[in-house]
Structure formats: C-alpha cells, structure tokens
C-alpha cells in the first residue's frame, strides 16, 4: 500500500511540474524553477516558525509568496540593473538559500528543518504523514491532497488561459499590441511556478523539482509539434518518470528522488538517440509553395 501511495504522490508532483515546466521551457525560463526551489528556504523557515508546523497551509502560502518575491527580484536585476538573466537568477537564489541555511542554524532549536531535507526531500516518508479525519479515520497521506489541489489549480489555470499563455509565450510583442497584459501573465505563471515548486519540493526535494520541471517538457518538446500535445505528452512522461523512478529505487534499494531524476534524464537521452537514429533514414522532402 505504501508503494502505491508513493507512486501516486510522485506522479502528482511530476504532472504538476511537467505542465508548468513546459511553459517555463518555452519562455527560456527553465532555470527559474531552480531559483525558486532554493530561494524559498528562508520563507519556509520563517513561515514554519510562525505557524509552528512546517506542514501547515501557512507554510505553503508563505513560501510560495517568497517565491514570487524572488521572481520580482530577478526581474528587477534583469530589467533595471541590466544584468544578464542567468546572472540575475544565480545571484538571487544563492544568497536567499544561504540566508535560509543561516536562519536554520540560528533557530535550530525551534524548528525541525534541515537543509539537506529541503534539497533532497524524502518521498518515502510522505505516506506516513497522513491526514486524520474526524473520528480518527485515516484519510490518506496529506501530500496527496496538497498535490491534487495544486493540480486542480494548475489545470484550471492552463485550460482557462490557454490562449493568453500561448500567445504571450510565442510572441509577447504581438500579444501586447492586441491588448494583453504580458506582465500580468508573466507573474501569473511565476505565481503558479512558485506554488507548484513549493508544493512539490516538500515531498521530492528542491533538486528533483528542477529535474521534473525541465526534463519531461524537454523530452515532450522533442516528440511533439503542437503546444497542447506537448503539454499532454509532458504530463504522461512525468507519470512515467514517477513510476519508473519508484520502481528503479525499489530495485536498487536507493533514493526515490534520485531514481526519478535519473529516469527523467534517461528518458530524454533515449528519446533523443532514437530520434537521431531515425533521422538517418531519408525523410520526405518538404514541397515548396509559391
């Protein structure tokens, strides 16, 4: 039963990350997930102090808000200080993560956080943290509810604003000229990224969130030619990554998160190699049109 829960939690985390990650990749912002996943640490520490439990909704909301602040800071350094975007990301997430580490060592007596747990997560323990309903009924792991709710939010965000998200991603200048607020959509996506990252890294860890945000979308990008298919295939690859990773971990008796990231990378490279191999056979030439 525990394995089933782990696979379910990992799949939910992977679907969330893959969907949001597809947009990040197409906007050349893939590394912003990395930045958020690290930079929210001080937010989690402070929120967990205030809420006295790192698992409460307050911690999630608090950390998510810090994530949005991080994207604002990156945008400020890039837009106002004229720093390269990758440098802006690098500066922000390192000092904020370091701030979080210092906060933890200062307040170690008051919190049960440790940076290693934040970086690598421990999905194997996630099923143990269950939600007990009235009358002592075991309603299943809390992470399932958090991630399912997050998925609902992400799905409605993407389905409702599919046209806005796609046009502001493909051609922001054009989107602005037809009256769309490109800044607003950018921050809406950053908000979704922030909450997705915070909700998932609690179970799988910051490093693996990055793997899930980037690898399944990148693989789907190789396989598909239209955005809605890229999103669906990325989500399916996310599930495959989660299931494959869990069983790989069981087989080698190792870290689940590590096995998932390995599976994600493996899927990408095997897809790429199979495609290269296929390309050797001659392709149908594209007919010119006049």
Chain residues binding another protein by CB under 8 A are: 26, 160-164, 166-167, 169-171, 173-174, 176-180, 221, 224-227, 229-230, 286, 288-290
Q: What ranges make up the beta strands (E) of the chain?
A: 130-132, 138-141
Closest to another protein by CB, 65 vs 161, is 161
Closest to another protein by CB, 226 vs 279, is 226
Q: Please, which contacts does 236-242 make with residues 24 or more away whose CB atoms are closer than 8 Å? A: 237/18, 237/267, 238/11, 238/14, 238/15, 238/17, 238/18, 238/212, 239/11, 239/14, 239/15, 240/267, 241/14, 241/212, 241/215, 241/216, 241/267, 242/7, 242/10, 242/11, 242/13, 242/14
d(CA 121, CA 119): 6
Min dist. Cβ of residue 234 to another protein (A)? 11
Closest to another protein by CB, 209 vs 267, is 267
Min dist. Cβ of residue 184 to another protein (A)? 11
Closest to another protein by CB, 218 vs 256, is 218
Cβ–Cβ < 8 Å for 154, 23: no
Min dist. Cβ of residue 170 to another protein (A)? 5
Min dist. Cβ of residue 88 to another protein (A)? 18
Closest to another protein by CB, 98 vs 153, is 153
d(CA 62, CA 45): 10
d(CA 104, CA 96): 12
133 phi/psi in degrees, rounded to 5: -80, 180
Min dist. Cβ of residue 6 to another protein (A)? 32
**Nearest by Cα to 85 from 144, 162, 32, 153:** 32
Min dist. Cβ of residue 26 to another protein (A)? 6
Closest to another protein by CB, 1 vs 178, is 178
Half-sphere exposure of 87 (CA within 13 A, CB side): 7
């Amino acid at each position: 039963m525990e394995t089933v829960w782990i696979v379910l939690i990992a799949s939910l985390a992977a679907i969330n990350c893959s969907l949001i990650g597809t947009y990040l990749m197409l906007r050349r912002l893939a590394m912003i997930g990395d930045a958020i996943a690290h930079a929210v640490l001080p937010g989690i520490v402070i929120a967990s102090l205030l809420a006295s439990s790192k698992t409460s909704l307050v911690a999630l909301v608090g950390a998510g808000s810090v994530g949005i602040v991080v994207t604002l800071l990156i945008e400020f350094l890039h837009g106002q200080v004229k720093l390269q975007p990758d440098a802006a990301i690098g500066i922000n997430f390192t000092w904020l993560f370091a701030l979080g580490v210092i906060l933890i060592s200062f307040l170690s007596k008051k919190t049960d956080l440790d940076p290693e747990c934040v970086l690598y997560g421990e999905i194997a323990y996630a099923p143990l943290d269950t939600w007990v309903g009235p009358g002592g009924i075991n309603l299943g792991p809390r992470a399932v509810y958090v991630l399912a709710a997050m998925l609902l939010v992400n799905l409605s965000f993407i389905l409702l604003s599919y046209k806005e998200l796609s046009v502001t991603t493909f051609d922001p200048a054009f989107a602005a000229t037809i009256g769309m607020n490109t800044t607003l959509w950018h921050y809406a996506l950053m908000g979704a990224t922030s909450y997705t990252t915070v909700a998932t890294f609690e179970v799988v860890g910051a490093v693996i969130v990055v793997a899930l945000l980037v690898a399944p979308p990148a693989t789907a990008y190789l396989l598909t030619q239209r955005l809605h298919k890229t999103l669906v295939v990325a989500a399916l690859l996310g599930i495959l990554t989660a299931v494959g990773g869990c069983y790989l971990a069981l087989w080698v008796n190792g870290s689940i998160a590590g096995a998932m990231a390995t599976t994600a990378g493996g899927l990408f490279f095997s897809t790429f190699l199979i495609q290269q191999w296929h390309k050797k056979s001659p392709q149908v030439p594209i007919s010119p049109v006049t």
